[in-house]
Structure 1
Amino acid sequence: MTNEPAAITDRLATAETGLEIWLWLPLLKLLAEGEPVTIADLATATGRTADEVQAALAAVPDTEYDDEGQIIGQGLTLRPTRHHFEIGGEQLYTWCALDTLIFPQLLDRPGRIESSQREGSTPVRISVDATGVTSVEPRTAVVSLVNPEDLSQIRSAFCNQVHYFASPDEAAPWLERHPEATTIPVAAAFELATALVESMHLDPATVSPDRSGLNGAVCC
């Protein structure tokens, strides 16, 4: 299966992932406030019933919950990962590197990112807003991508392989262990993120709970 960015974008913008835009975007906005989200809050935000919300959440097995059954993560998460993501004054985290470039566009807020592929690797620090990447340190940083056969469990199949590396040289040993993967510059990854946002065919600032005209799914 090809690892061309366009091919990956096409697949992430389909229902293969199980993510529903009518649910996901309101959930992201609620999670961005830095607190767990209840089913009732999400039903109110989407204009759907609690049963519809629970069914849509169940279609994404990787969705994270706290001990009280509140939602704490679906792409954007309150649970620490290697992808530190600060937005609106809240210290949050994401499931993958690409998420950090998607969410500032969906939420229309600038974000600050610090990420490293593993303990001891060189951290990558990025500032980004809805229009593009405003700073990258180091400038040689790249993002890894894969195009797995099965996207039904998007976090394990896709997100867990999408990292920041400080340089192509730093990515090289990982690529040797993952020959199915590729890497692209951060600017190219932002273009890929933009294509994913555009594939939703909606304006994130004016999304409504209307049931028509919303595509299936996007990235984690």
Structure 2
Amino acid sequence: MTSAHPTQTVAELSQPGGALDLGQGPARLLIRMLRLLAQEDHPIRRDRVLDSIADLGIEHAHAAALLDSWTERDDEGRIVGLGLTHNPTAHQVIIGGARKWTWCAMDTLIFTIVLNAPITVSSTAPESGTVVRLQVSPSGITVADPVEAAVTQRVPARGQSDFSTKTAIWGSFCHHSFFFLNRIEAEHWAAGRDDIATLSIEDGFDAARDMAAALTRYEKDHADE
């Protein structure tokens, strides 16, 4: 797939009413958990979760059900991961001096915008095991090593995006989004797939900006709270 068509498809996913429009309550809850995961050096305690739900004014049972479905937990029931995670993956990030990981490559680009913070990325490509290193900021890619790096993103057909559980999210998007040393390596990995977009790092960031806008859409309505 070329970079033009996939970017348009991501824009469709991100538009109001699109698959990435989670709705006001779920979107704001996701962003609050992302910020807590980024800010704290340990998993999110239950009391912090309850305070966040109350502060956002979301109906408790609905919010709790969403988080039960979406999040990784430890043995104490604390939230370990929701896109950003304390559990190691192929995508290591440094945010505010702290090491964490993300569920997929595109998350690293999306979260620098959502969190409004620079992120250092070290991501391992599947099959080859090569490492792509990036410095990203809310305004774009500041360093890419190698400069020819590419990123993949699944662009499912209508009705094939599933955000009901973390396992569904992994299957719909995360297990298909990786950084590669170049477009050739990425296209070799995605050979035979018609639902994988292969993007340059710059085009990937543009797509991430659309996806971040879908998540933060409702934050603007509450900016003065």
Q: Would you say same fold, with TM above 0.5?
A: yes
Structure 1 residue 21 and structure 2 residue 27: aligned? yes
Q: TM-score, normalised by structure 1?
A: 0.82
CA displacement 1:94-147 (0-9 Å, x = unmatched):
001111011111111110001022264321100011111101111111111112
Equivalent residue for 1:151, pick from 146, 156, 162? 162
- Partner in structure 2 of residue 40 of structure 1: 47
Structure 2 counterparts to residues 47-86 of structure 1, below 5 A: 47=55, 48=57, 50-58=60-68, 61-86=69-94
Report the AA paired with residue 106 of structure 2: L
Q: Show structure 1 runs of 4+ deviating over 4 A.
A: none
Structure with a larger share of its residues in helix: 2
What CA RMSD, in Å, does the superposition of the two structures yield over aligned residues? 2.5
User: What CA distance in whole angstroms lies between the structure 1 residues aligned with 2:33 and 2:173?
Assistant: 20
Q: 2:36 matched to which residue of 1?
A: 30
The structure whose RCO (Cα within 8 Å, separation 6+) is larger is 1
Q: Which amino acid aligns with 1:30?
A: L
Q: Deviations over 1:35-56 (max 9, x none)?
A: 1112320221242465343122
Residue pair 1:66, 1:72 contacting (<8 A) in 2 also: yes
Match of 1:133 among 115, 137, 141: 141
Partner Cα separation in structure 2 for residue 117 and residue 78 of structure 1: 20
Q: Does 1:201 align with 2:201?
A: no
Pair 1:15–1:107, CA change in 2 (3 A):
closer
Which residue in the other structure is 2:10 paired with?
A: 5
> Number of paired residues?
204
What's the % identity of the aligned pairs? 30
5+ residue gaps in structure 2? none
**SS in structure 2 of the partner of residue 176 of structure 1:** coil
Deviation at 1:190, TM superposition (A): 1.0
Which stretch has the larger CA shift, 20-29 or 76-85?
20-29
Aligned with 1:121 (options 122, 126, 129): 129
**1:69 shift after superposition:** 0.8
Q: Find out whether 1:189 has 2:204 as its counterpart.
A: yes
**Structure 1 residue matching 2:206: 3-state secondary structure:** helix
